[in-house]
């Protein structure tokens, strides 16, 4: 795991903090509970990231570029919403996950 993974998981941590915002800062246990379901979707040290139909990348092919950071961050946020938000029925209506910076490279 290098910069791309660290920055991408940072967006997930922001989403977790937003989810618990009304009750104050999330506890260590709340972070653990929200991150654990992502374990199945992550490929930090082996296997392939499955970013959608026809878009698979070997675990060590993710580069520390804006494009790969955006790809990985979007994937992790979608997985987080599907595995945690949708299951728990949160966040509050009208609230959405933090969005990674738009790809400016074109």
- pTM to 2 decimal places: 0.80
In this predicted structure, what is the pLDDT of residue 101?
A: 56
| Count of the separate structural domains present in the chain | 1
Residue 94 located in a structural domain: no
61 within some domain: yes
Q: Report which of residues 98 and 50 the model is more confident about.
A: 50
| Average pLDDT rounded to a whole number, residues 31-58 | 95
Q: Is the pLDDT of residue 28 over 80?
A: yes
50 occurs within a structural domain = yes
| 54-98: pLDDT as tens digits | 999 999 999 999 999 999 999 999 999 999 877 766 554 445 555
27 in a domain, yes or no? yes
**pLDDT for the residue 93:** 40
Any long-range contacts for 9-12 (C-beta under 8 Å, 24+ apart)? 9/76, 11/73, 11/76, 11/77, 11/97, 11/98, 11/100, 12/38, 12/73, 12/76, 12/77, 12/80
- Does residue 70 lie in a domain region? yes
pLDDT on residue 78? 95
């Amino acid at each position: 795991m290098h910069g791309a993974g660290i920055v991408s998981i940072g967006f997930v941590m922001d989403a977790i903090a937003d989810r618990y915002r009304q009750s104050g800062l999330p506890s260590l246990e709340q972070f653990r509970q929200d991150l654990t379901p992502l374990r199945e979707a992550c490929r930090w040290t082996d296997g392939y990231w499955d970013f959608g139909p026809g878009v698979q990348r070997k675990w060590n092919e993710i580069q520390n570029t804006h494009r790969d950071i955006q790809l990985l961050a979007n994937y992790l946020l979608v997985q987080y919403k599907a595995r945690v938000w949708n299951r728990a029925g949160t966040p509050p209506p009208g609230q959405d996950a933090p969005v990674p910076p738009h790809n400016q490279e074109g």
